[in-house]
Amino acid sequence: MLSGEAREAALLLSAIARDIRRAGIPLKPPAAVVAGGETVVTVRGGGVGGRNQELALALATYLGDVKGFAAASMGTDGVDGPTDAAGAIVTDRTLQNAAEKNLNPEEYLENNDSHTFFKKVGGLIYTGPTGTNVGDIVIILVLGSGMSAGPATEAAG
């Protein structure tokens, strides 16, 4: 069950994904890691976003050199912070997409501005209100050798 700061949860989840990719521990790729709970964000910047978008952006930065992954973090209620998105999806190409647009993901994290980052790069998940709230869900896919997750783009529910 995930709890605590979104970035710290992302660091833990990225370590699991790295172990799967590097050593096949605790699972051999292709593998899926699913976690639930609710994290928090200590807001220090003036940006816009929610805990799921911040977790996804942090995952992208922590897994920036890992190939063959995709991850999504979303609220089951369809709402993430003060935004119209439920969360965000990232892949092994998210940082490359950001670099092509001359965007620095760390600056967006420091300003708690993950929503703006994903608006520019793609990857926001839109479901609309779902009428339920059982927590947040994070799914990380670690693909097999030679497989690519492809670009993250806007995702509609």
CATH code for the domain in which residue 71 is found: 3.40.1480.10
Contact in structure between 74 and 104 (CB atoms under 8 Å): no
The per-residue pLDDT for range 122-138, each reduced to its tens digit, is 999 999 999 998 999 99
Q: Is the pTM of this model over 0.85?
A: yes
Is the separation of the CB atoms in 35 and 138 below 8 Å?
yes
- Is-contact 151 91, C-beta < 8 A? yes
Is residue 133 one of the residues assigned to a domain? yes
Bridge partner residues of 156 (DSSP): 126
Angle, helices 6-23/51-62, rounded to nearest 10 degrees: 40
In a domain, 93, yes or no: yes
Could you tell me if residue 151 is inside a domain? no
In a domain, residue 150? The reply is no
Strand 155-156 with 124-126, pairing: parallel
- CA gap 94, 101 in Å, rounded: 11
40-82 per-position pLDDT tens digit: 999 999 999 999 999 999 999 999 999 999 999 999 999 999 9
Domain containing 84 equals 6-143
Structure confidence at residue 57 (pLDDT): 98
pLDDT at residue 154 greater than cutoff 50: no
Residue 152 lies in a domain: no
For the chain, the domain total comes to 1
In a domain, 19, yes or no: yes
Residue 72 is classified by DSSP as: E
Which residues have CB under 8 Å from 35's CB, separation 6+? 1, 2, 9, 13, 137, 138
Q: Give the end-to-end CA distance of the chain in Å, rounded to a whole number.
A: 25
| Lowest mean pLDDT across 64-73, 113-122, 137-146 | 137-146
**CA distances, 4 to each of 28, 109, 128, 148 (Å):** 28, 16, 26, 31
The more confidently predicted of residues 153 and 50 is 50
Span 89-110, pLDDT tens digits: 999 999 999 999 999 999 999 9
Q: Is residue 43 part of a domain?
A: yes
* Cα(90)–Cα(136) distance, integer angstroms: 16
> Is residue 1 included in any domain, yes or no?
no
